[in-house]
Structure 1
């Protein structure tokens, strides 16, 4: 019998791969995402799918936007996925393929594909994904899946995705077609959009604080340089008194 990995196992694997400290502002984001993915991965009903991958990629990219140093973001991403014993390249590839396809479809096209998903498996990644979900009575819904679904809508029509009233109708269509929990989907997307706004506000505040601190350092450096120049070049009165 295989032992089920624990959260501690996943965290240990992560920090063995990414060994540099994580910026304190982003550490909570990384660890919450890591734990959420871990709990899904050990759930008996969970099955990886491209929409879930798109949700993971989107959540990581948006909540980690502005991370410094930028180069560390690649290492953190790789560690996050590899700690789940998965392939970070597969997540990116599957997410990119769905985004590209969604960009060629209208919101009506997306919902129509979902509505025929039980009968049609199609010959493209999105329709195949819809078909597998609609015909899986034990499909494990998750917040990350909801984010992936919302990202498809954004790529199709960002204005429609941001229209709160219109979004409710779209959620109903997807929930009925793919047999998703409507209330959970609506709640998760409301929270996601709210969190994006909060993160954007926090990022702006950090940028303003960083700029203010930079100006203070520049002022102190200028004052120090002025004081040093003054001590090296005594005034005429000082030169007369010395003579």
Structure 2
């Protein structure tokens, strides 16, 4: 695989230090490290066809051969699948995201799981909140996941399945999944077993965000509950805490960037209207 510079979530820049009225898409992408969790902007995917995990869950593993898709090929596949222009404030961050997810996707230990899917769907819907067209937003999602040689429908269905399950749970039942039977419980047990065995589980930021989403929907966001859930899943809580802090920062920065962008667009529109009005007045005087 060609050498690729990994994009860090940890770099933070202060928008207030910039002279430009709007943070550039490039600067936002390179500082992809901080959104604040807000329940009101989470999407609940209604109207999506449901399916059991037993029939839908597909395991994706990196090929053991040398014919591995490169980052450049993944990005090219995305551009081929979605050919319409994407506003730069969204496009630059999407390009950074797809590089990161490509590196996760083609790790030797990578294996698709619904918690990872829930985390990515949560990030994507937060990022694309406010996108001009709902239809285009979903088309971009489809192109993005297909570029990684995965199934976008499976991501949506599995994310919805986990969300519905989490809403029916309490703090206690959520962390006691190992003693219960069910589709989601089986998924969590499988994750716990793989995480307990070195080399069989690939932790990621999307996984951490998926965990938090489960806790949020179960109204169980106390730090002690997260600690118990991480212990039950054999996942390092320090890594989860770190990545959730990164994600909260990312949310706040993107919200700020969108607000500044809106102000900038409104201001430019007002200037154009004023210039058009002045030109019309001048033409009337000339006549």
TM bin, normalised by shorter chain, reads 0.7 to 0.9
Report 1:73-222 matches (<5 A): 73-113=137-177, 117=178, 120=180, 122-124=181-183, 126-136=184-194, 137=197, 138-157=200-219, 161=221, 166=222, 168-222=223-277
Distance 1:154 1:206 in 2: 29
Whether 2:105 is the aligned partner of 1:41: answer yes
Alignment TM-score, normalising by the size of structure 2: 0.71
Query: CA–CA distance in 2 between the matches of 1:230 and 1:101?
Result: 69
Structure 1: state its 5+ residue gaps.
233-243
Aligned to 1:238: none
Q: Distance in 2 between matches of 1:29 and 1:45?
A: 26
What CA distance in whole angstroms lies between the structure 2 residues aligned with 1:56 and 1:215?
Answer: 37
Please name the residue that 2:118 is paired with.
Answer: 54
Query: Is the Cα contact below 8 Å between 1:171 and 1:185 reproduced in 2?
Result: no
Partner of residue 23 from structure 1, selected from 63, 67, 87: 87
Please say if residues 215 and 226 of structure 2, whose CA atoms lie closer than 8 Å, have aligned partners that are also in contact: no
Q: Bigger shift: 45-54 or 211-220? A: 211-220
Which digits, 9 at most, give the CA deviation of each residue in 1:37-82, with x for residues without a partner? 2112212211111111111111111012223455432222111100
Structure with greater helix percent: 1
The answer for unaligned runs of 5 or more in structure 2 is 1-64
Measured after TM superposition, the shift of residue 178 of structure 1 is 0.4
Cα separation, partners in 2 of 1:107 and 1:222, compared to 1, 3 Å: farther
Q: Where do 1:220-231 residues align within 5 Å? A: 220-231=275-286
TM-score, length of structure 1 as denominator length: 0.83
Structure label with greater radius of gyration: 1
Two-structure CA RMSD over aligned residues (Å) = 1.8
C-alpha distance in 2, partners of 1:16/1:99?
Answer: 32
Does the 8 Å contact 2:82/2:140 carry over to 1? yes
1:90-127 CA distance string (max 9 Å, x none): 111111111122122223332232xxx2x55x223x21
Q: In structure 2, what is the Cα distance between the partners aligned to 1:140 and 1:63?
A: 24
Equivalenced residues, count: 219
1:175 is paired with a residue whose SS is helix
Query: Which deviates the most, 101-110 or 143-152?
Result: 101-110
Shift of residue 28, structure 1, vs aligned partner: 2.6
For residues 63 and 16 of structure 1, the distance between their equivalents in structure 2, rounded to whole angstroms, comes to 21
